[in-house]
Chains A and B, each alone.
Chain A
Amino acid sequence: MAEVTTEYLKSIVFQLNDEEYAMPVDLVGSIERMMHITRIPGAAPFVKGVLNLRGVVTPIIDLRTRFGFESVDYSESTRTIIIHHNNMDVGLIVDAAYDVIDIPKDRLEPAPEIVGSVSIEYIDGVAKHDDRLLILLNIDKVLADEALASKTAFQDKQV
Chain B
Amino acid sequence: MEMNEYLDVFIEESKEHIQSLNDQLLLLEKDPENLDIVSEIFRSAHTLKGMSATMGFQDLAELTHIMENVLDAVRNHQLTLTPEIIDVVFNAVDALESMVLDIIDGGEGKKDVSDLIKQLEAIENGELVGETKSVHPATSSINTTINVNQDLDQFELAVLQQSQEKGFKNYQITVQLQETCLLKAARVYMVFEILEQIGEVIKSTPTVTELEDENFEYDFSVILVANDTPEAIQQKVMKVSEIDQVQINEVELGNQSTTDVSEEVTPQKGKEEDTSKKEASKSQLTSKTIRVNIERLDALMNLFEELVIDRGRLEQISSSLRDNELQETVEHMSRISGDLQNIILNMRMVPIDQVFNRFPRMVRQLAKDLDKKIDLQIYGADTELDRTVIDEIGDPLVHLIRNALDHGIETPDVRKQKGKPEEGILKLNAYHSGNHVFIEISDNGAGIDRDKVVNKAISNGVITQEQGQTYTDNQVYQLILESGFSTADKISDISGRGVGLDVVKNTIESLGGSITIDSTFNEGSTFLIQLPLTLSIISVMLTEVQEEKYAIPLSSIIETAIVHKKDIMRAHNKQVIDFRGKVVPLVSLQHVFDVPGEPNDEEYYSVVIIRQGDKMAGLIVDTFIGQHEVVLKSLGNYLTDIFAISGATILGDGQVALIVDTNALIK
Q: Provide the bound-state CA to CA distance between A102 and B426, in Å.
A: 65
Partner of B633, one of A42, A57, A87, A153: A57
Chain B's nearest CB lies how many Å from the CB of A110? 28
Q: Provide the bound-state CA to CA distance between A90 and B637, in Å.
A: 9
Judging by beta carbons under 8 Å apart, are A87 and B656 in contact? Answer: no
Interface positions of A from 26 to 42, Cβ below 8 Å from B: 36, 38-42
Which segment of B24-32, B165-173, B377-385, B589-597 sits at the interface?
B589-597
Q: Provide the bound-state CA to CA distance between A77 and B100, in Å.
A: 56
CB neighbours (8 Å) of B209 from chain A are: none
Q: Provide the bound-state CA to CA distance between A1 and B641, in Å.
A: 46
Cβ of B571 within 8 Å of any chain A Cβ, yes or no, is: no
Cβ of B650 within 8 Å of any chain A Cβ, yes or no, is: yes
CB neighbours (8 Å) of B638 from chain A are: 59, 88-90, 143, 148, 150, 153
Partner of A57, one of B593, B636, B641, B643: B636
CB neighbours (8 Å) of B643 from chain A are: 41-42
Chain B's nearest CB lies how many Å from the CB of A148? 7
Cβ of A78 within 8 Å of any chain B Cβ, yes or no, is: no
A39, A41, A51, A58: residue with the most chain B Cβ atoms closer than 10 Å? A41
Cβ of B142 within 8 Å of any chain A Cβ, yes or no, is: no
CB neighbours (8 Å) of A151 from chain B are: 640
Judging by beta carbons under 8 Å apart, are B637 and A150 in contact? Answer: yes
Partner of B648, one of A36, A38, A86: A38
A44 to B, closest residue via Cβ? B639
CB neighbours (8 Å) of A56 from chain B are: 633, 636
Judging by beta carbons under 8 Å apart, are B639 and A148 in contact? Answer: yes
Partner of A88, one of B637, B648, B654: B637
* B-contact 0/1 string along A135-158, CB 8 Å cutoff: 000000001000011111100000
A89, A143, A150, A152: residue with the most chain B Cβ atoms closer than 10 Å? A150
- Residue total for B at the interface (Cβ-Cβ under 8 A): 28
Total of A-B residue pairs, C-beta within 8 Å: 84
At the interface, is chain B mostly helix, strand, loop or mixed? loop
* A-contact 0/1 string along B546-564, CB 8 Å cutoff: 0010000000000000000
Judging by beta carbons under 8 Å apart, are B640 and A150 in contact? Answer: yes
Chain B's nearest CB lies how many Å from the CB of A68? 20
Judging by beta carbons under 8 Å apart, are A38 and B658 in contact? Answer: yes
* B-contact 0/1 string along A36-67, CB 8 Å cutoff: 10111111000101111001111100000000
Judging by beta carbons under 8 Å apart, are B637 and A152 in contact? Answer: yes
Q: Provide the bound-state CA to CA distance between A41 and B594, in Å.
A: 7
Q: Provide the bound-state CA to CA distance between A51 and B656, in Å.
A: 6
B302 to A, closest residue via Cβ? A55
Q: Provide the bound-state CA to CA distance between A58 and B641, in Å.
A: 16
Partner of B636, one of A38, A42, A88, A149: A88
Cβ of B306 within 8 Å of any chain A Cβ, yes or no, is: yes
CB neighbours (8 Å) of B595 from chain A are: 41
B595 to A, closest residue via Cβ? A41
Partner of B640, one of A52, A89, A148: A148
B590 to A, closest residue via Cβ? A41
Cβ of B645 within 8 Å of any chain A Cβ, yes or no, is: yes
Judging by beta carbons under 8 Å apart, are A38 and B656 in contact? Answer: yes
Judging by beta carbons under 8 Å apart, are B635 and A40 in contact? Answer: yes
B548, B638, B643: residue with the most chain A Cβ atoms closer than 10 Å? B638
Judging by beta carbons under 8 Å apart, are B639 and A55 in contact? Answer: no
Judging by beta carbons under 8 Å apart, are B642 and A40 in contact? Answer: yes
Interface positions of B from 22 to 43, Cβ below 8 Å from A: none
CB neighbours (8 Å) of B639 from chain A are: 40, 43, 47, 50, 59, 148, 150
Q: Provide the bound-state CA to CA distance between A55 and B656, in Å.
A: 10
Interface positions of A from 69 to 98, Cβ below 8 Å from B: 86-90
B550 to A, closest residue via Cβ? A41
Q: Provide the bound-state CA to CA distance between A143 and B636, in Å.
A: 13
Cβ of B655 within 8 Å of any chain A Cβ, yes or no, is: yes
Interface positions of B from 448 to 498, Cβ below 8 Å from A: none
A50 to B, closest residue via Cβ? B656
At the interface, is chain A mostly helix, strand, loop or mixed? mixed
Chain A's nearest CB lies how many Å from the CB of B317? 18
Cβ of B309 within 8 Å of any chain A Cβ, yes or no, is: yes
Cβ of B634 within 8 Å of any chain A Cβ, yes or no, is: yes
CB neighbours (8 Å) of B55 from chain A are: none
Q: Provide the bound-state CA to CA distance between A36 and B548, in Å.
A: 12
Q: Provide the bound-state CA to CA distance between A148 and B642, in Å.
A: 9
CB neighbours (8 Å) of A150 from chain B are: 637-640
Interface positions of B from 617 to 664, Cβ below 8 Å from A: 633-645, 648, 650, 654-658
* A-contact 0/1 string along B303-320, CB 8 Å cutoff: 001100100000000000
CB neighbours (8 Å) of A42 from chain B are: 593-594, 642-645
Q: Provide the bound-state CA to CA distance between A39 and B546, in Å.
A: 12
CB neighbours (8 Å) of B654 from chain A are: 36, 52
Q: Provide the bound-state CA to CA distance between A55 and B309, in Å.
A: 9
Q: Provide the bound-state CA to CA distance between A116 and B643, in Å.
A: 36
CB neighbours (8 Å) of B309 from chain A are: 55
Q: Provide the bound-state CA to CA distance between A125 and B592, in Å.
A: 42
Partner of A41, one of B306, B593, B633, B640: B593
B631 to A, closest residue via Cβ? A55
CB neighbours (8 Å) of A86 from chain B are: 637
Judging by beta carbons under 8 Å apart, are A52 and B650 in contact? Answer: yes
CB neighbours (8 Å) of B636 from chain A are: 50, 56-59, 88-90
B interface, CB within 8 angstroms of A: 305-306, 309, 548, 592-595, 633-645, 648, 650, 654-658
**The 8 nearest A-B residue pairs measured at CB:** A41-B593, A38-B656, A88-B637, A88-B638, A57-B648, A57-B633, A42-B643, A59-B638
A interface, CB within 8 angstroms of B: 36, 38-43, 47, 49-52, 55-59, 86-90, 143, 148-153
Q: A38-B656, A59-B635, A59-B636 are in contact. List 12 more A-B contacts (CB 8 A).
A: A38-B657, A40-B642, A41-B592, A41-B595, A50-B648, A50-B656, A55-B305, A56-B633, A88-B636, A89-B638, A148-B638, A153-B638
A–B complex contacts, Cβ < 8 Å, 12 sampled: A38-B657, A40-B635, A40-B639, A41-B645, A42-B643, A52-B655, A52-B656, A57-B650, A58-B636, A86-B637, A88-B637, A143-B638
